[in-house]
A and B are shown apart, each in its own frame.
Chain A
């Protein structure tokens, strides 16, 4: 059977199991045209689109339930508080945390990591200690640790990767020592889509008493995450990358660690008693949530998680895997297409170059053809430097993408290639 027929058959089989057309109807933004062309949105690793139910939840909350949480005795406040706390339970179940007190709401993955870098750093780190990260981290999982290291006169150590972008496990093992106070590692690389062997990494770190923070920003929308099975000590992710509203994030952390860590910020919500002589702090999770939380955002995040659960992460992962296989087959036929990194377990991300054409030019022209991708260094300059490039193009998928989207991308890249000859 010719490859094209094989792909066609599989595509049809895939789309009968997973009704992508009806899922897409829940995302009105995907129906629009840009520059006269139907939008193909392939920048999901940057942010995802929102289903109707999430936006409706925000509207319903503002029009019918808006009152500050955890304060007043009146009905609206009670309803808002209930919704906010129900969202915490929803997140707990979504990542299988042991209890909802271990879920802290933040503004995003970045703030979650900064919280740990500050509060964990204050509680557990001393001069001369080390923090271990990898070469493929997003700047958000590099800079907070550099700041901690500067503050405490500590050292940042970096696990190297091979030429394909895969983490070198033996090198990782060699870097572990009693000086290492924390390993901070991404679940899935935001540039390469490579998944790190977290279970083995965490097991090895724990055998030496080292806790582990996982940056889950690129994982949660694409695979089922179980923080207890992983035995992660901290797990951070953003609502906007899993079809929820922007400005809301999650930090999962084990209770015993949270209880030993001092607050990150001071203000309302996080206190127990305030006197000018001395203030005592609230219990977890509230100790880490100073100020009025984005209670409408958290309720909408819960709606997004329910949306994902209804489709099922297994089905999502399967659909995305087939999209990825289809994309790699189609794009490899494009003249000058260079996939970055040979990676066995890639997740929903295709980073590439078109030979002889700057990625900025590729991205700009794709935009004019109605296709949204990301170009540049993807907030991971050290990784691109390691791979020997300044910039690349990244197409990243979500479950609402289709094989037609990929056909459009392939045709567009062919057209762009011809423009430069």
Chain B
């Protein structure tokens, strides 16, 4: 599946749910299913500090593809991280750099992209693209 197909899948699974709390329940379940980040990567150099929550992210590059591992201290942000990894991990740098991430808005979670939310999510997205660019140029 390409990036847009995965996005469509995500949108569909959230669209099937009407109640806001149930949408968040799905996000929480996704967050809980995210594999914990190896302790060696929970270091300041991998940390994206938000005002209220933190995200750690680690990237590696193998055979032309970028692999991400990440974690957050809040379960809801972990749910968002889960979705981002599903979309981006294992992609080429070009796929990541060209991707238009419309799913967040479509599933009604745009508020998480606002800088005032200060949850580190926007910064994480930027960081993932930076990794992709760095690997592309390396």
| Pairs across A and B, CB under 8 Å, 28 listed | A35-B20, A357-B75, A358-B74, A358-B76, A360-B52, A360-B53, A360-B76, A360-B77, A360-B119, A361-B28, A361-B76, A364-B76, A365-B21, A365-B76, A368-B21, A368-B24, A369-B21, A375-B52, A376-B51, A376-B52, A376-B118, A377-B51, A377-B52, A391-B52, A415-B21, A419-B24, A420-B28, A420-B75
Interface range, A side: 10 to 19
CB closest chain-A residue, reference B119? A360
B contact residues around A375 at 8 Å (CB):
52
| Contact flag A419-B25 (CB < 8 Å), given A360-B119, A391-B52 | yes
Least CB distance, A28 to chain B, in whole angstroms: 24
B73 located at the interface, meaning its Cβ lies under 8 Å from any Cβ of chain A in the complex: yes
The total number of A-B Cβ pairs within 8 Å is 41
A35-B20, A360-B74 given; 14 more Cβ-contact pairs under 8 Å: A358-B74, A358-B75, A360-B119, A361-B28, A364-B76, A365-B21, A365-B24, A365-B76, A368-B21, A368-B24, A377-B52, A391-B52, A419-B24, A420-B75
Flag if A358 contacts B53 (CB, 8 Å): yes
Which residues of A line the B interface, CB within 8 A? 35, 357-361, 364-365, 368-369, 375-377, 391, 415, 419-420
Q: In whole angstroms, what is the CA distance A357 to B76 when docked?
A: 10
CB closest chain-A residue, reference B75? A361
Number of interface residues of B (CB under 8 A): 15
CB closest chain-B residue, reference A368? B20
Flag if A419 contacts B53 (CB, 8 Å): no
Bits for B70-93, please: 1 = Cβ < 8 Å to A, else 0. 000111110000000000000000
| Contact flag A419-B28 (CB < 8 Å), given A35-B20, A360-B119, A377-B51 | yes
CB closest chain-A residue, reference B28? A419
**A361, A365, A375, A420: most-surrounded residue (chain B CB, <10 A):** A361
Q: In whole angstroms, what is the CA distance A415 to B20 when docked?
A: 13
Kindly identify, within residues 19 to 40 of chain B, every residue whose CB is under 8 Å from any CB belonging to chain A: 20-21, 24-25, 28
Q: In whole angstroms, what is the CA distance A213 to B1 when docked?
A: 64
CB closest chain-A residue, reference B21? A368
Least CB distance, A226 to chain B, in whole angstroms: 37
| Contact flag A419-B51 (CB < 8 Å), given A357-B75, A360-B119, A361-B75 | no
Q: In whole angstroms, what is the CA distance A327 to B32 when docked?
A: 31
A contact residues around B77 at 8 Å (CB):
360
B contact residues around A364 at 8 Å (CB):
24, 76
